Amino acid sequence: MKSIPGPKTPAIVQQMQWTLDPVQTMETCAQKYGDIFMLQAGLSNSATVYVSSPEAQKEVLTKKNQYEAPSNMILKSLLGEKSMIVLEGDRHRQERKLLMPPFHGDRMRNYGELMRNITKEAASNLTEGKTFIARQLMQEITMQVIIQAVFGLQDSPRLSQIRSSLGDFVQMIASPVRASLLFFPWLQKDLGPWSPWGKYQLQQQKLNELLYTEIATRRSQLDPDRNDIFTLMLLARDEEGQGMTDQEIRDELMTMLFAGYETSATTLAWAVYWIYKQPEVYQKLMQELETLEIDTADPMTIFHLPYLTAVCQETLRLYPAGMFTFPRRTKQPVELQGYHLEAGTMIQGSIHLTHQREDLYPEPKKFKPERFLERQYSPYEYLPFGGGSRRCLGMALASFEMRVVLATLLSNFEMELAENKPVKPKRRGLIVGPAGGVKMLMKGERKQVEKKSPSVAVV
């Protein structure tokens, strides 16, 4: 049977290309080789088969008798070996079940009020007439939201330290070159505090100490009436009545803080770029938002606004923060898209390539929210949060936050793009974000009577 096509360049070259420019690497391979190809690169640090057709995505994500989700060494070094993301089998299912409740029901409404207040405060601190970087504003907002949602409304010096330390930690792997530390194990050598891996480990140790101290403090002052995620983790019990260990809680805190901060901020930066880049999108969105008093509306009403929802969906389609599903491994020899795969073969679904398919999304490079008003997509045609048993646990919270933050910003402040040039995608740690972070101009607080389209200022 024919072998799966792919580049013949040395493995280190393929891994470097994939690390430094994942979007171009994947699109080039798709153009040359089609819906299935092999790269000597990926999250598994080994030869990986990439698929992008909805049929292949569905098969790999749902056929648990043929495909398993192995532990991921890159994520393990970043988040910890007890993180739900890197657990396998029954342990993963148990942990997911324990952590599911915080992201549903009336608690979401409480988060909505929190998101509105944080957004208004952060944006009001910007100077009128001055430029700012959208991603930095969104990072401030999403950091505050995830810290307060996870730890509760009670602020403290230690929470401020955790917030600062987490920001420093994320920044250490923010550029494509710095991200290489995660993707090339041979770079992970501690040659002292001035070496890249030495700095990384010191920063991780600092954050660990803060988190473990906070865990000990909260255990000693446990209040069952609090409903923040941290308290719920401390109170959680499995079917045998066992609670979570300090390490399990630390690793889940890291997972939530890391995922809830950087990915959400990046997606929100992309969203404001496209909204202000295309005046017709801005006008339609403002017309819809003006039907509500956003500052007092039920957050769930905001969440269900059709065009706002479509704008968010199209943002996540065009440049999903996570380009790939979690790796899977064949348990036995399988046939996939006409190819024979031996047992132990690593496979990843390319979310980005699925979202770029012309047969699903005509003119895929264009930002067209209307496509989500005209058509329903299956979970394997549109999967910005992954799929199967590994779909992002924070999907509901992230989708909710995106809509509330955008609605609050647009309804209360006037802004515009500060540069009239295309913004390109660029690797930022494990995800892909807008290069430069999207430079914008703050014009000031919105006068509610004004209903005008933004102009694009060139500075």
Residue 457 has pLDDT above 50, yes or no: no
Please, are residues 70 and 327 in contact by the beta-carbon 8 Å criterion? Answer: yes
Q: Decide: residue 198, CB within 10 A, 0-12 exposed, 13-18 middle, 19+ buried.
A: middle
With H, G, I as helix, E, B as strand and everything else as coil, classify residue 38.
Answer: strand
Q: What is the mean pLDDT of residues 47-74?
A: 86
Q: What is the mean pLDDT of residues 403-430?
A: 93
Residue 173 has pLDDT above 60, yes or no: yes
Residue 188 has pLDDT above 90, yes or no: no
Per-residue pLDDT band for 398 (boundaries 50, 70, 90) equals confident
Q: Which of 247-256, 336-345, 402-411, 432-441 has the lowest mean pLDDT?
A: 247-256
Q: What's residue 378's pLDDT? A: 94
Q: What's residue 85's pLDDT? A: 57
Closest to 18 in 3D by CA, of 36, 44, 40, 33: 40
pLDDT tens for 369-388 read: 999 999 999 999 999 987 76
445 forms bridges with which residues in the sheet?
413
Q: What is the mean pLDDT of residues 393-403?
A: 84
Q: Decide: residue 156, CB within 10 A, 0-12 exposed, 13-18 middle, 19+ buried.
A: exposed
Per-residue pLDDT band for 86 (boundaries 50, 70, 90) equals low
More confident residue, 97 or 345: 345
Please, are residues 361 and 24 in contact by the beta-carbon 8 Å criterion? Answer: no
Q: What is the mean pLDDT of residues 42-47?
A: 73
CA angle 230, 124, 170 (to 5 degrees): 45
Q: What's residue 458's pLDDT? A: 41
Q: What is the mean pLDDT of residues 10-22?
A: 90
Residue 304 has pLDDT above 70, yes or no: yes
Q: What is the mean pLDDT of residues 14-28?
A: 91
Per-residue pLDDT band for 450 (boundaries 50, 70, 90) equals very low
Residue 360 has pLDDT above 80, yes or no: yes
**Token duo for residue 228:** 């923040």
Q: What is the mean pLDDT of residues 437-443?
A: 96
Q: What's residue 449's pLDDT? A: 45
> What's the mean per-residue pLDDT of the chain?
85
In whole angstroms, give the CA distance from residue 390 to residue 349.
12
pLDDT tens for 134-149 read: 999 999 999 998 888 8
Torsion sign across C-alpha atoms 75, 76, 77, 78: positive
Per-residue pLDDT band for 391 (boundaries 50, 70, 90) equals low
Q: Which of 2-11, 112-121, 227-236, 276-285 has the lowest mean pLDDT?
A: 227-236
Please, are residues 188 and 181 in contact by the beta-carbon 8 Å criterion? Answer: yes
pLDDT tens for 209-224 read: 999 999 999 999 888 8
* 101: amino acid identity, one letter: P
Domains detected in the chain? 11-445 (1.10.630.10)
In whole angstroms, give the CA distance from residue 132 to residue 213.
35
Residue 421 has pLDDT above 50, yes or no: yes
Closest to 337 in 3D by CA, of 57, 7, 70, 30: 57
Q: What's residue 103's pLDDT? A: 54
